[in-house]
A and B are shown apart, each in its own frame.
Chain A
Amino acid sequence: MSVKPAMPLKERMKHAIADETLIEAVKKTTDRLEGGKLASSEALGNWQEWREQGSRIRSHVVQHLDYYLGQLIQNVKKRGGHVHIADTAEHAVQIFLDITKQKNAKSVLKSKSMVSEEVHLNKALEEIGVKVLESDLGEYIIQLFGEAPSHIIIPAIHKNRYQIADKFSAISGEQISEDTPTLTAFARRKLRQEFLEADIGVSGCNFAIAESGSIVMFTNEGNGRMVTTLPPVHVAFMGMERLLPSFEDLETFVNLLPRSATGQKITSYVSVINGPRKEEDLDGAQEFHLIIVDNGRSNILGDDEFQEVLNCIRCGACLNVCPVYRHIGGHAYGDVYPGPIGAVITPLLRDDMKVWGDLPYASSLCGACTDACPVKIPLHDMLVHLRARKVKLGLTPGWERMAFRMYRGSFANPGRYRLSMRAAKLMVPFMAKDGYIEKGPLHMLGWTNARHFPSPAPQSFREKWAQLSAELEGPKGGDSK
């Protein structure tokens, strides 16, 4: 799917940084989530052992994905569910549209599904005149504004209560006040009738259990339960790698996922769906469809540098600790998955370094994401690997390649190094003022536009070294008494 961002990353970042409300909201949210995570993982204890356990289970599944996925497919069918394989995003959408047509469905009600965002399901449904409604409070709000989520866990962090109250007032024709209970009550009332009347419920899938053919959802609001309990048809979208072997393994992720995402010990609801309702049951969907989506995931398998990224459980912890995400928010990443995980998987899933190859540069390589990841994905290494890949593909700008050639040339040879240092020092008086460079040349502007750069020291370390070693070698204990 050739999705292209509207403008280059640098432009997107500039827009984001200029939006003070957004940046304030992002900081506040990430602080809260990160604080919660630290407190609750501390309270659980042995966090590193839990991470190790989670990482090993996920790595094992990904390494044997053909087996577990085969097992899942068989078991979903055994339970009376329908399985669909979507190789691409377009394919996934087509499968869903076919189900919609077959059911003659007029209204589709969704709980949160990142994969359905990834394949742009809503747009396709609107185009054929099917009413599609998001039911997660945050997703519902941004859908009313016609915007995309800016955070995996809290999609509407960039909207304040006044904007939300105005929007609710506009769609209902009554005056809705901006206090949270009123806003929440409005959404509850508005969506309740929709839940009862929808033809198809759509959900995501946090984990599928291979051994039983089940899907598991972690939710807080209850809308995930609504869309799988009330409408006659339930369709779940699943990224093909989101598997665990058995329920026993789920315990580890019950302990890892909510803590990493929001700092909760467990979400309000952990819902297990084992196919459609039983014949004698009186509620639950009568028909269950599972759409297993590849959409670029199999390209990552077998790639030693990146295979581990498929361990991701989409908790958002890497977003909350990332200094870059905290400054630019989610939209600047230009696609569904923001933050460090987005900077890694977007170029890989899209398989297009030309368009998405700038994302790995939206990082300070500080490694906070790797430390935060509950399944120990070495995200910062992957960001470096992606940059290297971009260089190998010859996609970096000419001036950059030239600069690095010069850098390599001068740093590879002591004589040339000394010469270039001296040359650089000669430039200092033209640039520095009071020990600082306030306006750098060329690409130093990116730095000096926001802060001053310390001017190089008058004497380099190497020049000092001669003097220092002489002092060290000096007569020992030669101090006069």
Chain B
Amino acid sequence: MSSNLTEQEFALLKRIAGRLGRSEPLTEKPSRDVIGPPDFWRQFQLSQEEKIERFCESWRALTGVAETVQSEWEAVDVLKRWIQEENITNLIRWDHPELESLGLDEPLRLSGITVNVWGHGDPQSMKEIANQAEAGITWADYAVADTGTLSLFSSREKARSVSLLPPIHIAVFRAKQLVTRIGEVMVKIDEMNRNGSLPAGVNFITGPSRSSDIENDLSIGVHGPKKVFALIIK
């Protein structure tokens, strides 16, 4: 294991090993009996209906807007309504096949809204477009019912900027992407790491950006989005 360590790195490990009573740094994986969450927590499992309910409840508790629809067709209606209510004229979305197949762009453009798709341009101008956009639309990889948390994996088409720079973030996902505990996603990330498919960034997002730094007074939308929407397709 110490094959590609620099002299300095090895010196630190050797110093640590020495302090811990070993002459050489440990290179064999130490055995352990305590891994991950406590046992009782692993038993925690909600039904599909409960997951939807728990997610919406947690999401709304943090000023998020959540709705559940039965079909893609209904989903487009809800998205259109949200975009109109928020007076959005310019948005950016992930280049995601699920968002593509919703067929959202056409009706929005017809009503005079600029729809930008991430990845259709050079990085610098993409960054600028995302910064100017009034809303960013993503498709969550997973959603956690327990805490009302979205889990987003980055890629070329699924940029981190889209859920971060615009003041409004709208996430869409199917009910089957819901898990009960965040640990279920953690285990999947471990698997991705072991099979070499880990993305550069994973973001867990729970509600809007917030701070209580001024006199303990909660304020929303410090650097990240001020308003967050979640749309669940059954």
Contact = CB atoms under 8 A, between A and B. Distances in A.
Interface of A: 25, 28-29, 32, 46, 49-50, 52-53, 56-57, 60, 63-67, 69-71, 73-74, 77, 83, 85, 87, 135-138, 141, 154-157, 160-161, 164, 180-181, 183-184, 187-188, 191-192, 195-196, 211-212, 214, 220-223, 225-226, 228-230, 240, 245-252, 254-255, 262, 265-278, 280-284, 292, 294, 298-299, 301-302
A163 to B, nearest CB: 10
A283 B186 contact: no
B126 interface: yes
Interface in B155-200: 155-156, 159-161, 164, 181-183, 186-187, 189-190, 193, 198-200
Contacts of B1: 70-71, 74
A255 to B, nearest CB: 7
Interface in B1-28: 1-2, 4-6, 8-9, 11-17, 19-22, 25-28
B202 A138 contact: no
B116 interface: no
B45 interface: no
B102 interface: no
Contact of B198 (A196, A212, A222): A212
B207 interface: yes
Contacts of B112: none
Residue of A32, A188, A283 contacting most chain B CB atoms (<10 Å): A283
A271 B34 contact: no
Main secondary structure of the interface of B (DSSP, over half): loop
Nearest to B203: A271
Contact of A53 (B14, B38, B221): B38
Given A266-B204, A281-B156, A184 B219 contact: yes
A284 B152 CA distance: 14
A280 B156 contact: yes
Contact of B186 (A136, A155, A247): A247
By size class, the interface of chain B is 35 or more
6 contacts: A25-B215, A46-B38, A180-B217, A240-B12, A251-B183, A272-B189
Nearest to B205: A269
A65 B20 contact: yes
B97 interface: no
Given A223-B223, A298-B19, A302-B20, A154 B212 contact: yes
A66 B200 contact: no
Nearest to B58: A265
Nearest to B22: A66
A275 B200 contact: yes
B18 to A, nearest CB: 8
Nearest to A73: B9
A361 B60 CA distance: 46
B222 A184 contact: yes
Contacts of B30: 60, 63-64, 67
B234 interface: no
Residue of B38, B183, B201 contacting most chain A CB atoms (<10 Å): B201
A69 B12 contact: yes
Contact of A267 (B17, B118, B206, B223): B206
A282 B149 contact: no
B73 to A, nearest CB: 31
Nearest to A142: B213
Interface in B25-42: 25-30, 32, 34-38, 40-41
B12 A67 contact: no
Contacts of B38: 46, 49-50, 52-53, 252
Contacts of A156: 213-214
B25 A67 contact: yes
Contacts of B32: 60, 245
Nearest to A301: B19
A85 B12 CA distance: 8
B36 A221 contact: no
A67 B22 CA distance: 11
B209 interface: yes
A251 B36 contact: yes
